[in-house]
């Protein structure tokens, strides 16, 4: 089991406190099929642009000195980029192109648990784990099963043991744009049991895959994924607009519930997704509508999945990944939502601004 740094442990405990509330008993009902009204919420900052990076996914990590890092995957330059989460200042780059540990080939999804950073590499067909703050490689897993992995979501099943869910969006054809036969779409989400021993060594065991295989609701093109253990709910984004781009609901056993977020909630591809939890057990799912000239962020009730409002920034467009950091920072006392802007920079929204603009529960930002 890894030893958490004090700040990281505090963050982990805060996350646990937010998500360990007993599940509510409300029965989910289908969300109404109505186009949402969109409110403007100005970004607190947008970082300097670096188009060559092709930024994709985001994760946050609290440092020992009280700062917060915003870590982004840079697909085209095959590295990670570290920003100061409070200011958007670019701090450093990590890694280079290659297959050795510490190198990357088309890094995509990123996730942090404690002092461990998980990086999904599409073209190395693996998940690499690095120790923070040094970014020293710990190991990798998944190369025997993963074919074209993209997104990742982590949950702690017991102390020192994690479950990692990885989306695997392998495609066929000369241009890799043909969806596999429906019978193969039960491999769209793969899961792994991940452990660290007392020396910090990594062990991972493959736990199988899942995905609906019916023509109506199969997961055709997948990337973003997020979960809510309290309500036994996992949302998986299907980006294939040739059929229907939406977020589909699964249980943690891998069963499709038959529910999806309404089609007309999304004008473009359903992309990044994050859960914003509140102390009373409620909260909101935030889902990206990957539009240009401005991304729309849709909020849905954590329990019922009813729409609760939509907003856009003044700049942020064509967003891939998002990261929600609920813990207070010097610049964001109520927490922040971070988003990729047009593959070339990162932007930040103050959660207090979002709550005020959409008339949400204020205790989520206290």
Name the token pair of 115. 């002092």
Predicted confidence band at 160 (pLDDT cuts at 50, 70, 90)? confident
* Pairwise CA distance, residues 59 & 72, whole Å: 7
* Pairwise CA distance, residues 6 & 158, whole Å: 20
Mean pLDDT of 62-66: 94
Q: What CATH superfamily classification does 6-18+36-365 receive?
A: TolB, C-terminal domain (2.120.10.30)
Q: Tell me: pLDDT of 339 over 60.
A: yes
Residue 238 burial (CB count, 10 A): 26
Bridge partner list, 80: 73, 94
Residue 272: closest CA among 224, 314, 238, 324: 224
CB–CB of 194/164 below 8 Å?
yes
Q: Which residue has the tokens 């646990």?
A: 16
Whether the ω angle into residue 133 lies within 30 degrees of 0, i.e. cis, is yes
Q: What is the DSSP letter of 43?
A: -
Q: What do you get for the CA distance between the two ends of the chain, in Å?
A: 32
Cα dihedral across residues 342, 356, 58, 237: positive or negative: negative
Bridge partner list, 347: 46, 339
Share of the chain above pLDDT 70, in %: 89
Q: Tell me: pLDDT of 13 over 70.
A: no
Render 177-234 in DSSP notation, one character per residue: -BPPPGGGGGGSEEEEEEEE-TT--EEEEEEEEE---STTT---SEEEEEEEGGGTEE
Using DSSP's 3-state secondary structure scheme, residue 258 falls into strand
Predicted confidence band at 7 (pLDDT cuts at 50, 70, 90)? very low
CB–CB of 157/210 below 8 Å?
no
Report which secondary-structure segment, H or E, holds 266.
Answer: none
Name the token pair of 86. 């409070």
Residue 240 backbone dihedrals phi, psi, to 5 degrees: -80, 100
Q: Tell me: pLDDT of 4 over 50.
A: no
For residue range 184-225, what is the model confidence (pLDDT) as tens digits? Answer: 999 999 999 999 988 888 999 999 999 999 999 999 999 999
């Amino acid at each position: 089991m890894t030893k958490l740094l004090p700040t990281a442990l505090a963050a982990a405990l805060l996350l646990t406190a937010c998500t360990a509330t007993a599940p509510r008993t409300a029965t989910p009902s289908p969300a109404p099929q109505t186009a949402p009204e969109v409110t403007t919420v100005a970004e607190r900052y947008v970082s300097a642009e670096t188009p060559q990076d092709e930024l994709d996914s985001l994760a946050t990590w609290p440092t020992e000195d009280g700062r917060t890092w915003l870590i982004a995957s840079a697909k085209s330059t095959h590295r990670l980029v570290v920003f100061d989460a409070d200011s958007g200042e670019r701090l450093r780059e990590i890694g280079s192109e290659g297959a050795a540990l510490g190198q990357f080939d088309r890094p995509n999804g990123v996730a942090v648990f404690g002092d461990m950073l998980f990086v999904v590499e599409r073209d190395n067909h693996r998940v690499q784990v690095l120790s923070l703050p040094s970014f020293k490689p710990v190991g990798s897993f998944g190369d025997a099963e993963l074919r074209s992995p993209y997104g990742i979501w982590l949950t702690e099943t017991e102390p020192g043991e994690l479950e990692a869910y990885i989306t695997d969006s392998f495609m066929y054809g000369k241009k890799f744009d043909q969806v596999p036969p429906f019978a193969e779409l039960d491999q769209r989400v793969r899961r792994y049991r991940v452990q660290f021993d007392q020396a910090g060594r990594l062990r991972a065991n493959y736990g199988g895959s899942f995905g609906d295989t019916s023509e109506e609701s199969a997961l055709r093109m997948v990337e973003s994924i997020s979960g809510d253990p309290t309500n036994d709910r996992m949302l998986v984004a299907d980006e294939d607009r040739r059929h229907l781009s939406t977020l589909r609901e699964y249980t943690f056993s891998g069963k499709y519930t038959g529910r999806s977020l309404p089609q007309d909630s999304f004008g473009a591809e359903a992309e990044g997704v994050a859960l914003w939890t509140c102390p009373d057990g409620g909260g909101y799912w935030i889902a990206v509508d990957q539009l240009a000239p401005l991304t729309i962020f849709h909020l849905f009730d954590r329990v019922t999945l009813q729409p609760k409002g939509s907003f856009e920034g003044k700049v942020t467009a064509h967003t891939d990944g998002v990261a929600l950091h609920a813990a207070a920072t010097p610049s964001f006392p109520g927490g922040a939502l971070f988003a990729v802007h047009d593959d070339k920079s990162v932007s930040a929204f103050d959660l207090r601004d979002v709550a005020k603009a959409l008339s949400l529960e204020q205790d989520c930002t206290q």
